[in-house]
A and B are shown apart, each in its own frame.
Chain A
Amino acid sequence: MPQYFYESAFYVALLAASVRIAAPLILASVGEVFAERGGVLNVGLEGTMLVGTWAAFMGMYYTGSGLLGVLAGMAGGTVLAAGLGYVCISRGANQIISGIVVNIFAVGFTSLTYRHLFQSSIPTVESFAPIPIPLLGDLPVVGRVLFRHTILVYVAFLSVPVASFLIYRTQIGLCLRAAGELPAAVDTAGVNVLVVRYAGILACGALAGLAGADLSIGQLDQFNDNLTAGRGFIALAIVLLGRWDPYKVAFGSLLFGAADALQLRLQVLDFAVPKELLSIIPYILAIAAMALFVRKLRLPAALARPYERE
């Protein structure tokens, strides 16, 4: 065993990295919970995140403001989600196909515009600085792991109780869940199913865009082609494994964050296994988890079914 396995600093850094890496997964998967609870399966989550990374980078690059960058990322994700929503909700198109198409468009659009504007140069912005939380940030170990992160990481963790409250404790959440289980009941109660589903998918777009912003300007300082590298698909799996519950989904995100942090750290430390093979770990983990834990799964009854009045 290499020496660093016996040093506590390795594990503290690993846990801190797990939390940081989990943040975009939490944002994206909590967003997807909103969409799927409302009955819309957003397979385009990967593309929505990608547009978020792109828009956030562009926003920050051209305005110099991190806040405007974040807002641009959210706006980018929301616009793409609105397009997907129109096709799936208003026009009743197959949601899986629509999602694939959204992903193809997102890859093309972000790559075309970015490369055309910047040619072969790789422009950078100033990535977000960690904000230690007073007192808590000074705690040994825990402070380092949990309370010395960028603002977007805190936002990601705050989004979990907020989402849980919205979904389980408010009228809007009730309508959303009903729209995903028995949309006809929502309609009978005089609430427009389509509006409820749009709310779900737009929230998903905004959160996925925020997740993207965290990747490009929160953690990195640049945009790359296909920067999300499958994180949107991992988030989709996390939502399934976390059974559409924000807390469980956040827990799942932390597990994947830990797996990813471990393989990244081993890559940096020149571990015996080549880095390309280490990169496979999170995907294998997701597939294994789905094989083991997804047996008796009850999906929202109306998931991926367009609503049409009888």
Chain B
Amino acid sequence: MSAEGISIYGSTAGIARRTRAFAAPVACVVAALAITAILLLALGADPLFAYRAMVVGGIGSEQAISATLAKTVPICLIGLGVLLTFRCGLWNLGGEGQFYSGAIGAALTGILVSAPATILISLEVLAGAAAGAVTAYVPAVLKSRFHANEILVTLMLNYVPLYLALYLIQGPFSQGLAAKTVDIHPAGELPWLVVGGLRIHAGVLFVGAAVVATHILVSDTAFGFKIRAIGSNAHAAAAAGINVARCQFRAFIVAGALSGLAGAIQVTAIHHNLVEGISSGFGFTAIVAALLGRLHPLGVLLASFGFAALLVGGDSMQRTAKIESSTVFVIEGLILLFLLAGRIIGREGAHIH
């Protein structure tokens, strides 16, 4: 559509375009909420009651915002990794598995190693990031050496750390009846801080650092320049002498380390053990958060906060209004489908060849 090209209407068209750019996503959210409301009505639940419980539980109090910030951490860290890989044309759908690996690495370190707090926490975080990186190494090396399709390898690889975690939970480190491992040493627990009325854990600091670091990495380094070049045209980048395979390989490893770090933080700050279902779909929510944040670090942070609020609100709704928290995945899915249908996101071409 090129109807906006007429100069005398230029400014009005500009305003209209900007209004539309703002109004369209809002319309998608409203439509998704409306359809979910109809579904809830059909199930005999009161949607207004549900939504109120969700908003109050997600952002309605200092306690709620604290919980939402805590859940922003894993989504945003994994999302930043997704950002790096997507920016250089890699379909890394393995955040979920890399997260689980990180959780396993940190939990095993925290259980088996006994050391002073500073050392133990550093070891756990490093072990988590390393485990995530190792998990990303598999699709990375299969992609660069064997040209194996990373979409399918990462999707499939998600199940390996998942079952490994289940094994540890049921088997050697079982806590007994509960579906979780024994706790890590108390010295290995990540500290919590009280800032204003908010109670946040130290992992939030990692997120702040990771957002800034990712921004600098993408915008101001040679590596970031190469990533962007590959993302906009891999053939041109290769012709210009950029080693595409090597850059993609490195991006994959950094993404894995970020997801692994997220898993480590979730263990050391929140659960203090490895618990079944430690990721409530963080890996996939992070992918949509990265896209909704337009593959920009600050955008990813904001989108992650939004999805975290939705998840926390959903859990709270399940407790107070007795409506299943899986409602949030319906809402999330519908919002994204409408955004895709409305051509607001997802116009990136697919480099799957």
Chain A interface (Cβ < 8 Å from any Cβ of B): 41, 43, 83, 86-87, 91-98, 100-109, 111-113, 115-117, 230, 233-234, 236-237, 240, 274, 276-277, 279-280, 283-284, 286-287, 290-292, 294-295, 297, 299, 303-305
Contacts and interface: CB of A to CB of B under 8 A. Distances in A.
B346 A100 contact: no
Nearest to A232: B155
Interface residues of B, number: 58
Contacts of B163: 276-277, 279-280
Given A108-B327, A283-B159, A303-B352, A295 B167 contact: no
Contacts of A95: 350
Main secondary structure of the interface of A (DSSP, over half): helix
Given A112-B327, A112-B330, A276-B163, A101 B147 contact: no
A287 B164 contact: no
Given A94-B347, A97-B345, 9 more contacts: A94-B350, A96-B91, A107-B329, A112-B324, A240-B149, A276-B166, A280-B163, A287-B156, A294-B146
Contact of B156 (A107, A109, A286): A286
Contact of A87 (B149, B166, B326, B341): B341
A107 B281 contact: yes
A184 to B, nearest CB: 17
B138 interface: yes
A164 to B, nearest CB: 23
Main secondary structure of the interface of B (DSSP, over half): helix
Interface string B130-165: 000000001000100011110111011111100110
Contacts of A98: 337, 340, 346
Contacts of A277: 163-164, 167
B284 A237 contact: no
B291 interface: yes
A292 B146 CA distance: 8
A13 to B, nearest CB: 24
A69 to B, nearest CB: 20
Contacts of B43: 112-113, 116-117
A152 B193 CA distance: 58
B156 A105 contact: no
Contacts, number: 180
B157 A41 contact: no
Nearest to A230: B159
Contact of A97 (B149, B158, B324, B346): B346
A295 B147 contact: yes
A290 B142 contact: yes
A295 B45 CA distance: 52
18 contacts: A87-B346, A94-B349, A97-B291, A97-B348, A98-B337, A103-B284, A104-B333, A107-B329, A108-B329, A112-B326, A113-B39, A117-B43, A274-B171, A276-B171, A280-B163, A287-B142, A291-B146, A299-B352
Interface string B43-64: 1110000000000000000000
A115 B334 contact: no
A3 B149 CA distance: 41
**A-B pairs with lowest CB-CB distance, top 5:** A108-B329, A105-B333, A276-B167, A111-B326, A93-B340
B153 A233 contact: no
Contacts of B153: 287, 290-291
Contact of B152 (A92, A111, A240, A292): A240
B160 A280 contact: yes
B340 A283 contact: no
Given A100-B93, A100-B288, A116-B323, A237 B170 contact: no
A237 B45 CA distance: 40
Contacts of A299: 352-353
Nearest to B151: A96
A236 to B, nearest CB: 6
